[in-house]
Amino acid sequence: MNILVVDDEPFVLSSMARLIRSQYASCEVEEAEDGEGAIKILQRKNIDLVITDIRMPGMDGLELASNISVNHPSTVAVLLTGYAEFDYAVAAIRQGVFDYLLKPISKESLMQTVERVKHYLTQRKVQDGIDKSKPSDSTHRLIRSSLEWIAEQYASPELTLASIAEKYFVNPNYLSGLFKSETGLTFTQHLTNYRLEAAKQLLRETNLKIYEICEKAGYTDQAYFSRLFKAVEGMTPYEYRESYCSLGDEHLK
């Protein structure tokens, strides 16, 4: 694995690079003191992992991570951050950065992060090999697995794009784009449709209370569930149940 460490503090930079080399003799570790230097290395060498400080003069870590995402999408980015920039790091993860390390960095946290990246890259290679060996599949294997997981776990409020990405060791941005291209819907659109279809079935076929159906469909807020249901179906859950019962009564006459 090729690793690039980027930090404008020479002591921190050399310490991290030295620590990684001591723990992973097979890894090639490059060093850069700023974002511009990192870009030059990325342009001439295939880098698997970039560990970059978030606050640097010139091109900061967030800008570097964005550049990596666009120009080197197979490269994993991890941010080094202090408490002052913590919110930026969290936002960056939502946008596709793999992880963050909080300063001062401990040996354990650094090694755990490198191990996680190694595992992720290994799984990605395996997945890519599977995908390339099945050119006849009309739907990407990862998306099929994601759809099956949604069908099993839709009732869980914790089910998110990020949780599925973590389960299958893929970047959330990558999964989001692939989901849209393969299904024609965003992850949120598909999950909402699935949950509402489940709710409609329960409204038609059971006598459960609305709040019980809300929970079984994966929602914790009944008011939100009712507003969403009405926005999509044009009527409240109660009205939907009543209209279905009315149709049933008419059919029996």
Domains and CATH numbers, the chain: 2-132 (3.40.50.2300), 137-253 (1.10.10.60)
Question: What is the mean pLDDT of the segment spanning 225-229?
Answer: 91
How would you list the strands of the sheet with 28-32, edge to edge?
Answer: 28-32, 2-6, 49-53, 76-81, 99-102
Q: What is the mean pLDDT of residues 158-180?
A: 88
Per-residue pLDDT band for 246 (boundaries 50, 70, 90) equals low
Contact 216, 201 (CB under 8 A): no
pTM of the model: 0.54
Residue 77's contacts (CB-CB under 8 Å, 6 or more residues apart) are 49, 50, 52, 64, 65, 68, 69, 97, 98
Give SS3 for 213: helix
Tens digits of residue pLDDT in 12-41: 899 999 999 999 888 899 999 999 999 999
Tokens standing for 227? 């507003």
**CA-CA distances (angstroms) from residue 146 to 27, 88, 189?**
32, 28, 14
101-156 pLDDT, tens per residue? 888 888 888 998 898 888 878 777 756 655 555 644 556 788 888 998 999 999 99
pLDDT band at residue 5 under the 50/70/90 scheme: very high
